[in-house]
Chain A
Amino acid sequence: NAGVTQTPKFQVLKTGQSMTLQCAQDMNHNSMYWYRQDPGMGLRLIYYSASEGTTDKGEVPNGYNVSRLNKREFSLRLESAAPSQTSVYFCASSDLAVSGNTIYFGEGSWLTVV
């Protein structure tokens, strides 16, 4: 059971470039999340998806877009990367019925924008 899988693990971008972070879960969870983690700031929610076909903004959505492609996959896109988006990005999933709302995290994606 792979759990939550994120790709890529590491990426360096130039300012203005675009990229998509991929996330997939194999636990049949309805809810999926994207967080960023910065030193001294903790984990901040970028976007979340309560179920397939729905997405909502979190605390820091500016500069990002998301797509809930199907129940398994939730991608995060940076349309025009900025140095302020240098961070570690985590995808997570949960489901009340499947796993009692326990949250499962991916291993993280380290993104540097130069």
Chain B
Amino acid sequence: KQEVTQIPAALSVPEGENLVLNCSFTDSAIYNLQWFRQDPGKGLTSLLLIQSSQREQTSGRLNASLDKSSGRSTLYIAASQPGDSATYLCAVIGNKLVFGAGTILRVKS
């Protein structure tokens, strides 16, 4: 059974810091891994999708990496802004789609 863990559960940083969110999974037989952002009271917005054959994907200030062999993915956010405050979820796509519990990020101005 696939299990997905996100660390840390919550993070509070001052504006401008670079930060890393971690996602680990137990079964490396995956097709893709996707990172989402969720604002309070809202749905999930897709940030980045990494195919199993890829090592990383970049979009603006976001960079996501994937190491299938070690069962890890990281989401790197450069020069964080208060608008980045949200919950970040990773989802592992194998035979089923399994989500981590999320990291609650607060960027202080």
- Interface check B83, CB cutoff 8 A: no
A58-B96, A103-B91 are contacts. A41–B101 as well, Cβ < 8 Å?
yes
- Interface check A100, CB cutoff 8 A: yes
**A-B contacts at CB below 8 angstroms, number:** 52
Contacts of B98 in A (CB 8 A): 45
- Interface check B49, CB cutoff 8 A: yes
Contact with A along B24-42 (1 / 0, CB 8 A): 0000000110101000001
Q: Are A40 and B101 in contact (CB under 8 A)?
A: yes
For this complex, into which size category does the number of interface residues on chain B fall? 20 to 34
Q: Are A45 and B97 in contact (CB under 8 A)?
A: yes
Query: Of A14-22, A63-71, A105-113, which binds chain B?
Result: A105-113
Query: Which residues of B pack against A, CB within 8 Å?
Result: 31-32, 34, 36, 42-46, 49, 51, 89, 91, 93, 96-102
Q: Can you pick out 26 interface pairs between chain A and chain B where the beta carbons lie within 8 Å of each other?
A: A33-B97, A35-B99, A42-B101, A42-B102, A43-B89, A43-B91, A43-B99, A45-B96, A45-B97, A45-B98, A92-B44, A94-B93, A94-B97, A101-B31, A101-B32, A101-B49, A101-B93, A102-B32, A102-B46, A103-B93, A103-B97, A104-B46, A105-B43, A105-B46, A107-B42, A108-B42
Query: Which residues of A pack against B, CB within 8 Å?
Result: 33, 35, 40-43, 45, 48, 58, 90, 92, 94, 96, 100-108
